[in-house]
Amino acid sequence: MPGKTRGSESVNDDLIFKIYKRTSIISLLIMGFSFFIFKQPKPIVLGYLFGVLISMLGFKLLDITINKAVKMNPKRAQAYTTFHYFLRYLIYFIVLSISAIANYLNFLATALGLLMIKFVIIGSTIFDKKFVE
């Protein structure tokens, strides 16, 4: 049953690992191709890597938030999840701000990296019928 816990780990850990694995493989391919496509790939690769790592962190924070919120009473859970929702978006804002200011990071590559978890989940549900099993 999804979301059910066994001990300290969530049953969703297998699904999260699968998403991380697919994101990592696709990201390695994208970064590898960047070296052949662009004349100056370093800012693109660093920006993309920065975005992907923060995206993975945000996804794990979402998992932790959900697992804690389901154990709370509804009013407290709503406040808790709302706070953590804004906290994750503050992290994304800071990441994009750093990327816009730092000349060694490509802003668009960072934004793409931040969206990779979403792309992997959407793509996996479309192309892999056994994705959530």
The model's pTM is 0.85
C-alpha–C-alpha distance, residues 105 and 49, integer Å: 10
Which residues share a beta bridge with 9?
6
Provide the residue type at 123 as one letter: G
- pLDDT class for 6, splitting at 50, 70, 90? very low
pLDDT, one tens digit per residue, over 13-40 is 888 999 999 999 999 999 999 999 999 9
Whole-angstrom CA distances from 69 to 28, 66, 85, 117, 122 are 34, 5, 12, 22, 25
pLDDT, one tens digit per residue, over 65-105 is 999 999 999 999 999 999 999 999 999 999 999 999 999 99
C-alpha–C-alpha distance, residues 8 and 21, integer Å: 22
